[in-house]
Amino acid sequence: MLSNQKFGVVGFPWDGGASLGRPGSRYAPSKIREAFVWFVNRIENNQVYNVEKRQTYQLADNGIKDFGDIDIAAYSTDVTFRNAEEKIRGLLDDNVFPFVLGGDHSISYPVIKALHDKTEGKIGIIQFDAHLDLVDESPIQGKFSQSSQMRRALELPRINPENIVQIGVRSINYPWYENYLKESGIVQITAREVHKSTPEEVVAKTMAAMKDVEKIYLTFDIDVLDPAYAPGSGANEPGGLTPVQCMEMLDMLYSKVDAFDIAEVNPLYDHQDITTTFAARIMFDCAVARLSK
């Protein structure tokens, strides 16, 4: 799935869906870009050395391009999401790999829809997240909140629950989830199950659920990390994953996915850019993996 010629960075500075979580993630794209410069500085003559893998990577010439931000219509979720779909479809038309910087987690839906609408076959979704994000429409949150993007994605014709894998989910939630999850067939690997497994085992189970899909979407909610590692998030949910666990799993997935977003980074609650720097590291690792010759 490494046919893309460009690694396209797109900002989605939207937190209009932060109906229960903390608003402020609209500021994340600019902060992540700032932190990203720190990593890009290590590239010399289109080469970069990975200390942990003891390997130098030759990158494609001018492979990373920033395509700016989604046009935000602060008065309208519908208009904003249509703008997002249009921009992402344009990147896919131009054979660009979209790496989208949210924004609260509602931003995933229009990006998923853009990939879905450009694909004839099934779409698989890999979701790193503390939360399930399967809430249907409610008087408090509406239909397109940070808690609903996966529910909306399941309404698209070629996205089936057995092709959705949720990694790192945890904590206590609404009682209706028990029957819903049993009936739907969504694959879940809880945070404690991740801790009891190896990254290789988690990825193997994940990819088994992707065996009959044409394209794979990966969404990374920063709150999949334990709050100790990611204080700047939309919500604190104790008992999460470690950076190393996530990085090892992601390393095995970067080359297998067709679009990627990072959501719920919230600079207003961050400390010394800990969270934004980790998000930028993920983006850089993904770029290196996809642009290495």
Give the annotated binding-site residues for Mn(2+).
105, 129, 131, 133, 221, 223
216 - beta bridge partners? 124
Token pair 């890009």 is found at 40
Interatomic CA distance for residues 249 and 244, integer angstroms: 9
Tokens of 37: 């410069």
Tokens of 33: 């870009």
Cα separation values, 242 from 101, 127, 137, 195, Å: 21, 16, 32, 9
Burial group, residue 231, by CB count within 10 angstroms (0-12, 13-18, 19+):
middle
Burial group, residue 41, by CB count within 10 angstroms (0-12, 13-18, 19+):
exposed
List strand residue ranges (DSSP E) for the chain, in order. 6-12, 47-50, 55-58, 64-69, 96-102, 123-128, 164-169, 187-190, 215-221, 259-263
* Nearest by Cα to 237 from 288, 177, 190: 190
Neighbouring C-beta atoms of residue 192, cutoff 10 Å:
11
* Nearest by Cα to 137 from 127, 125, 129, 145: 145
Q: Which residues are annotated as a binding site?
A: 105, 129, 131, 133, 221, 223
Interatomic CA distance for residues 72 and 53, integer angstroms: 40
